[in-house]
Amino acid sequence: MSLLEVTGVGKSFPGVKALEDMHLELQAGEVLGLVGENGAGKSTLMKLLSGIYEADAGTFAFNGAPYEPSSPKHALELGISIIHQEFNLMPDLTVAQNLFIGREPGRFFTSERALNARAAELIERLHLPLRPKQLAGDLTVAKQQMVEIGKALSYEPKLLIMDEPTAALNDAEVEVLHELIRRFVQPDTGVIYISHRMDELRRIADRITVIRDGRYVGTRNTAETTMPEVIAMMVGRELNMDAQPVGVRADREVVLEVEGLHTKDLLRDVSFDLRKGEILGFAGLMGAGRTEVARAVVGADRIDGGTIKLRGREIKVTNPADAARHRIGYLSEDRKRFGLLLEQEVGANIGLSALAERFQAWGFVKDAAMRATAADYVGRLRIKTPSVKQTTKHLSGGNQQKVVIAKWLVKDCDILIFDEPTRGIDVGAKEEIYRLLNDLAESGKSIIMISSELPEILRMSHRIVVMSEGRVTGTLDAGEATQEQVMHYATLRRSEVAA
Ligand SMILES: Nc1ncnc2c1ncn2[C@@H]1O[C@H](COP(=O)(O)OP(=O)(O)OP(=O)(O)O)[C@@H](O)[C@H]1O
Ligand SMILES: [Mg+2]
């Protein structure tokens, strides 16, 4: 029996046809994976299903009856709960308050105590790693995600839709989420699971539906298809997935030398060097201190000990702008907060930070030059947008990330630190980014790449620095490094590291 049927659905925005003649069918009792490139229309379809947008054409049927939600609240009443790509938590409210936000007190709960008790009940029933009284703003991204899930499931929906639920989760956290999904799926419920991570889809999805450029391409049984087939359906061509970094000679000049780095909170005696033309991978579990190293190097966090030398000379960097003057760039993992001006044009976002150096003459901004450069990068990174004048918030999640990457490429730094550069980015675009990183390295730039995806680290790095609990536990030559080796160093406890 089908739980949800989408027939001939269309949706346009000014200058963009986001969906056209879209089809989708979800059977009761299944997890349906939904995949497509950045900007393919996945989130738009989910927003139609949750009543945020209204379709221009086509129909939805849910449980055999016409389904026409007029608002997210209405969608919830009808039995469809959605966890969006962007979180909507209130950082100043507690977990319990966030879980039951928008539901009338009185009827639902009569006091703060009753609210906390209800939250505790829900948390226990779903086995969530949360406490009712924690402030949402203090939680890790993974736990915030769990609050979103708890909130969605508290409505006891028949259909649960998750838009890239694991983009910010590590492997163990993904497993917790998958367990939750497996417990949720019953003969009369279903899940739509959107993800760019193919290995995950293979584990959790019964069937996979592929869309491209707003149109339906096809559906496959997961057990009977291969991931290369799904990827080919997605990008409409065979992907060449073998970009490899060219070797870097060991006698290449050391451009950055970090020694004995120490911060109050986490880092202990972190040392490494970075050579010209090198891609240095940083591996480790979440919380190992990789982002902290990056933040310390660009002066975003205070250093309490240690030295940073740039081409042999010690530098004192006190803030990221300072780092940029030394031509060190940092692409942060938290792009929403630090990366983009969402209300500004795409062109301005790409060009603005390079403004002073490249597009300003006697106080006048060279608008045309800035736009032309932006357009060039929009093309190279295949950023899906009607023009560089589009307001950035209208771009899909993955395309917004590509804008951040373009922004740093334009700045022309000598040292670039990329923190999770391909998170939320589709497989095709990932390959483009790998190629770009290789080109940059080949042209003599030095790159630090922090990534939680081991295959990516192993494939792209010349050398790999592995961290655990704020320390460097190993530095490996990528040529001979294996996944097991990296994991070994990544899971070394402080007590096991020789002092
Ligand atoms: N409010 C809006 N105004 C203008 N264009 C929009 C709006 N919302 C979405 N779009 C455009 O519609 C297309 C589909 O976007 P959508 O967010 O659905 O993609 P997606 O498949 O979810 O991509 P991603 O994998 O990057 O999240 C994109 O080209 C996007 O820029
Ligand atoms: Mg999306």
Backbone angles phi, psi at 282, to 5 degrees: -115, 115
Is residue 274 classed as helix, strand or coil in its secondary structure?
Answer: strand
Q: How far is the CA of 135 from the centre of ligand 1 (A)?
A: 31
With beta carbons less than 8 A apart as the criterion, state whether 306 and 270 touch: yes
Is residue 399 classed as helix, strand or coil in its secondary structure?
Answer: helix
With beta carbons less than 8 A apart as the criterion, state whether 294 and 450 touch: yes
Query: Can you list the alpha helix ranges (DSSP code H) found in 276-394?
Result: 290-297, 320-325, 335-338, 346-351, 367-380
Give the number of the ligand closest to the Cα of residue 196: 1
**pLDDT score of 499:** 45
Q: Is residue 207 left, alpha or beta, with left meaning phi > 0 and alpha meaning psi from -120 to 50?
A: beta
Q: How far is the CA of 365 from the centre of ligand 2 (A)?
A: 33
Q: How far is the CA of 193 from the centre of ligand 2 (A)?
A: 12
Tell me how many degrees the CA angle 285-289-293 measures, rounded to the nearest 5. 135
Query: Can you list the alpha helix ranges (DSSP code H) found in 211-331?
Result: 227-235, 290-297, 320-325
Q: How far apart are CA 275 and CA 257, in angstroms?
A: 9
Backbone angles phi, psi at 178, to 5 degrees: -65, -35
Q: How far is the CA of 38 from the centre of ligand 2 (A)?
A: 7
Backbone angles phi, psi at 213, to 5 degrees: 50, 45
Q: Is the CB of 401 under 6 A from ligand 1?
A: no
Is residue 305 classed as helix, strand or coil in its secondary structure?
Answer: strand
For atom 1 of ligand 1, which residue has the closest CA? 394
With beta carbons less than 8 A apart as the criterion, state whether 23 and 47 touch: no
Using CB atoms within 10 Å of the CB of residue 281, give its burial: 0 to 12 exposed, 13 to 18 middle, 19+ buried. buried
Q: How far apart are CA 105 and CA 112, in angstroms?
A: 9
**pLDDT score of 242:** 63
Q: Is the CB of 473 under 6 A from ligand 1?
A: no
Query: DSSP strand E in 197-301: where?
Result: 207-212, 215-221, 254-262, 270-275, 279-284
Q: How far apart are CA 368 and CA 218, in angstroms?
A: 42
Residue stretches of the chain with pLDDT short of 70: 104-110, 237-251, 334-338, 353-365, 494-499
For atom 8 of ligand 1, which residue has the closest CA? 394
Q: What six digits make up the tokens of 392?
A: 């950035």
Tell me how many degrees the CA angle 263-146-74 measures, rounded to the nearest 5. 140
Q: Which residues surround ligand 2, an ion (CB under 5 A)?
A: 42-43, 85, 396-397
2-13 and 16-27 beta bridge pairing: antiparallel
With beta carbons less than 8 A apart as the criterion, state whether 476 and 464 touch: yes
Q: How far is the CA of 166 from the centre of ligand 2 (A)?
A: 13
Query: DSSP strand E in 107-177: where?
Result: 159-163
Using CB atoms within 10 Å of the CB of residue 302, give its burial: 0 to 12 exposed, 13 to 18 middle, 19+ buried. exposed
* Ordered strands of the 305-310 beta sheet: 270-275, 254-262, 305-310, 313-314
With beta carbons less than 8 A apart as the criterion, state whether 279 and 243 touch: no
Q: Is the CB of 396 under 6 A from ligand 1?
A: yes
Tell me how many degrees the CA angle 345-195-128 measures, rounded to the nearest 5. 110
Give the number of the ligand closest to the Cα of residue 45: 1
Q: Is the CB of 327 under 6 A from ligand 1?
A: no
Q: How far apart are CA 384 and CA 214, in angstroms?
A: 12
Which of 9, 43, 383, 423 is the pocket-test mutation for ligand 1 (most atoms within 8 Å of CB)?
43
Taking the CA atoms of 374, 380, 382 and 386 in sequence, report the sign of the dihedral they define: positive
Query: DSSP strand E in 362-490: where?
Result: 364-365, 415-419, 446-450, 463-468, 471-477
Q: How many CB atoms lie within 10 A of CB 337?
A: 8
Tens of pLDDT, residue by residue over 351-379, are 876 666 666 666 666 777 788 889 999 99
Which of 6, 13, 387 is the pocket-test mutation for ligand 1 (most atoms within 8 Å of CB)?
13
Q: Is the CB of 428 under 6 A from ligand 1?
A: no
**pLDDT score of 123:** 93
Instruction: Round the CA-based radius of gyration of the chain to a whole number and report it.
Output: 24
Residues 6+ apart with CB under 8 A from 406: 350, 374, 377, 378, 380, 381, 383
**pLDDT score of 496:** 65
Q: Please tell us whether the domain made up of 2-235 is placed in CATH 3.40.50.2300.
A: no
Going from the C-alpha of 237 to that of each of 28, 212, 402, 425, the distances in angstroms are 32, 12, 21, 18
Going from the C-alpha of 286 to that of each of 17, 141, 171, 281, the distances in angstroms are 38, 11, 10, 15
Tell which residue, 169, 160, 171, has the closest CA to residue 31: 160
Give the number of the ligand closest to the Cα of residue 394: 1
Q: How far apart are CA 157 and CA 151, in angstroms?
A: 11
Ranges for all domains in the chain classified under CATH 3.40.50.300: 2-235, 254-496
Q: Which CATH number fits domain 254-496: 3.40.50.300, 3.20.20.150, 3.30.2080.10, 3.40.50.20?
A: 3.40.50.300
**pLDDT score of 382:** 86
Tens of pLDDT, residue by residue over 378-406, are 998 889 999 999 999 999 888 988 898 88
Tell which residue, 98, 480, 419, has the closest CA to residue 289: 419
**pLDDT score of 104:** 60
Query: DSSP strand E in 36-127: where?
Result: 57-62, 65-66, 80-83
**pLDDT score of 105:** 61
- pTM for this structure? 0.81
